[in-house]
Amino acid sequence: MVKHAKPKGFYDVFERKSQDFPAGETTHYCPGCGHGTVHKLIAEALVDMGLQDRTIFLSPVGCAVFGYYYFDTGNIQCAHGRAPAVGTGVARSLDDAVVISYQGDGDLAGIGTAEIVHAANRNENMAVFFVNNAIYGMTGGQMAPTTLLGQSTTTSPLGRKSEREGGPIHMAEVMSALEGPIYIERCTLSSPAGVMKTRKAVRKALTNQSEKRGFSFVEILSPCPVGWKMTPVQSRSWMASSMESVFPVKRFRDEEAAPKGNGRLPFLDDGALRDLVGAVANEVPTKVSTLSQDLGVKIAGFGGQGVMSAGILLANAAIHEGLHTTWLPSYGPEMRGGKANASVVLSSDAVGSPVVDVPQALLAMNGPSLDAFENHVVPGGLVMVNSSLISRKVERRDVRVFEAPVSDLAAEAGFLKGANIVMLALFALESGVIGIQTLKEIIPKSMKNKDLVEINLRLVDVAEEFHGRE
């Protein structure tokens, strides 16, 4: 006598079942439901293939929400439709895990379409078992994305009509449009032969998974007698007569894929990580300057004039001087050619506000910048004007004005783009806030493009010569 027993891949007793379902050795599924069959095929395969310890089973939202009642594996319960994203997180964390995403049609083909499409497209290392029963079972027999035309449900009581609800979505075919998946097959539970083919497909997907060959997708047409209001026998013949003509049962893809690497670079140890991120110990500032009060500097011009990088250079020079500093950018809507200004605050103390609304110094690189900020400068403040591009005079009488044709000076030295450096060097010389020597030390350190170091240092000399003449 053959004694049928539960597969060892299931728990002996389903202790996680709540009081809403009778605890013990039976599942919560309705009589005639296909989930029990698919569960059994997976559980048997996991044991036969020795994968139980390595497996992490993702339960969806839907009838299989309680997958973790049954599978004696690592279990994660997921939000509705999100299991392929959760599985991505698992697969990216555990190289050797066997990740199973078990989903129904509302979960995978409705709310979770983005997640399944992109996980498949990335060829994530996971096996997806998609149980398609053309209805929302758990929530009360509503229309699913896979509900057939003419099929009546609690939310398509007159029968699904393409003009009203659109037609059923074909997920195996959608998967086939993607380059990622290595294995795609649609099976059916309508007959014992179909179940045996499904058994093979389950094992094929799990083999791919255990050998880390990539993304496998098995769609399983499955009966829901209660949702369909049929007897189990009727439901199987309806599957054969109606479902399988809409959802052709076939193998869509079976690639001979080599095991996938994880694509990661070597894991850096603590020392190498510190070096990479720049966590460098102990560099004491060469000097500690003091300022009698916080100094707010506004550097303004059009995008591409280097006002941002001049600000960064000023802030770096401030650090070199042992000062506290902040740099705050403000861009116009355009990336290039629009208005741009940088606010830099220098202080002997920790900087409070980085916002410079009333600057002690304005470095105006073009006319609109002078127009915009001249009136904001604090009385007694410094206004530096790029007279190459600004023809008008500063109207304020209560500020100190320094004019210099910084664009022309830079162009004459052969590097128009360095007008910002000429302006900054002149500001250093005129204000005395940072030393010109500091600037010369900072330029080689903070310039990313080392080819430009020499010309920028020459522009500092140009500024010094000009300042000496003035």
Partner 1 sequence: MKRTLMKGNDAVVRGALLGGATHFFGYPITPASEIAHGAADLFTRSGRTFLQAESETSAINMMYGAASSGARTMTASSGPGVALMLEGLSYLAGSQLPTVIVDVQRAGPGLGNIWPEQSDYDMCCKGGGHGGFHNIVLAPSSGQEMADFAHKAFDMADAYRMTVVILSDAYIGQMMEPVALPQDVRHGARKSWAVYGDEESRSNLISSIVMSQEGLANLNMELQAKYQRAARDLTDWEEEQTEDAQLIVVAFGITARIALTAVRMLRSEGHRVGLLRPKTLFPFPQERIAELAQVGGRMAVAELNEGMMARDVERAVAGRCPVSRYNWFGGVVPSAEEMVLRMKEDLDG
Contacts with partner 1 in 269-308 (CB under 8 A)?
Answer: 270, 272-274, 276-283, 285, 294
Please report how close the Cβ of residue 258 comes to partner 1 at its closest, in angstroms. Answer: 21
Residue of 291, 328, 416, 455 that binds partner 1 (CB under 8 A): 328
Cβ neighbors of 384 (< 8 A, separation 6 or more) are 361, 362, 363, 364, 401, 402, 403, 404, 423, 426, 427, 430
Applying the rule CB under 8 A, the residues between 218 and 277 that interact with partner 1 are 264-268, 270, 272-274, 276-277
CA 285 to chain centre: 38
Contact between 177 and partner 1 per CB under 8 A: no
The number of angstroms, rounded, from the C-alpha of 324 to the middle of its chain's C-alpha atoms is: 34
- Count residues binding partner 1 (CB under 8 A): 76
Q: Which is nearer to partner 1, 150 or 354 (CB)?
A: 354
Site membership for partner 1, residue 18 (CB under 8 A): yes
**Using N-to-C axis directions, what is the helix angle for 419-431 and 436-446, rounded to 10°?**
150
Q: For the segment 431-460, give every residue that binds partner 1 (CB under 8 A).
A: 446
- Measured from the CB of residue 117, what is the shortest distance to partner 1 in angstroms? 8
Binding of partner 1 at residue 143 (CB under 8 A)? no
Q: Is the dihedral of CA 355, 360, 361, 367 positive or negative?
A: positive
Residue matched to tokens 């020392």: 271
Q: Which of 46, 97, 389, 394 binds partner 1 (CB under 8 A)?
A: 97
CB of 155 to partner 1, least distance (A): 22
Question: What residues have CB less than 8 Å from 97, skipping those under 6 apart?
Answer: 54, 55, 56, 74, 90, 91
Select from 77, 123, 207, 348 the one that contacts partner 1 (CB under 8 A).
Answer: 77
* Min CB(361)–partner 1 separation in Å: 16
Query: Stretches 38-46, 190-198, 244-252, 347-355: which one binds partner 1 (CB under 8 A)?
Result: 347-355
- Interface residues for partner 1 in 356-375 (CB under 8 A)? 357-358
DSSP-derived secondary structure for 62-106: SGGGGGGGTB-SEEEE--TT-HHHHHHHHHHH-TT-EEEEEEEHH
- Name the strand (E) or helix (H) holding 402: strand 400-404
| Identified binder of partner 1 from the candidate list 3, 4, 20, 179, rule CB under 8 A | 20
For 142, the token pair is 């509503």
Binding mask of the shown chain, residues 190 to 219, with x at each position contacting partner 1 by CB under 8 A: ------------------------------
Pick the stretch among 73-81, 177-185, 194-202, 391-399 that binds partner 1 (CB under 8 A): 73-81
Closer residue to partner 1 (CB): 81 or 168: 81
Give min distance, CB of 351 to partner 1, in A.
7
Smallest distance from partner 1 to CB 326, Å = 5
Only segment of 158-166, 237-245, 247-255, 320-328 that touches partner 1 (CB under 8 A): 320-328
Q: Roughly what angle, to the nearest 10 degrees, separates helices 453-469 and 419-431? A: 50
The contact pattern for partner 1, residues 101-140, with x = CB under 8 A and - = no contact, is: -------------xx-xx----------------------
Report helix angle 35-48 to 192-210, nearest 10.
50
Sole binder of partner 1 in the list 19, 292, 375, 391 (CB under 8 A): 19
The C-alpha atoms of residue 157 and residue 239 are separated, in whole angstroms, by: 20
d(C-alpha 243, C-alpha 235), whole Å: 10
Name every residue whose Cβ is closer than 8 Å to that of residue 255 and which is 6 or more positions away in sequence: 182, 183
Residues within window 29-68 making contact with partner 1, judged by CB under 8 A: 52-56, 59, 65-66, 68
Residue with tokens 């997907």: 205
Helix, strand, coil in percent for the chain, rounding step 5: 40, 20, 45
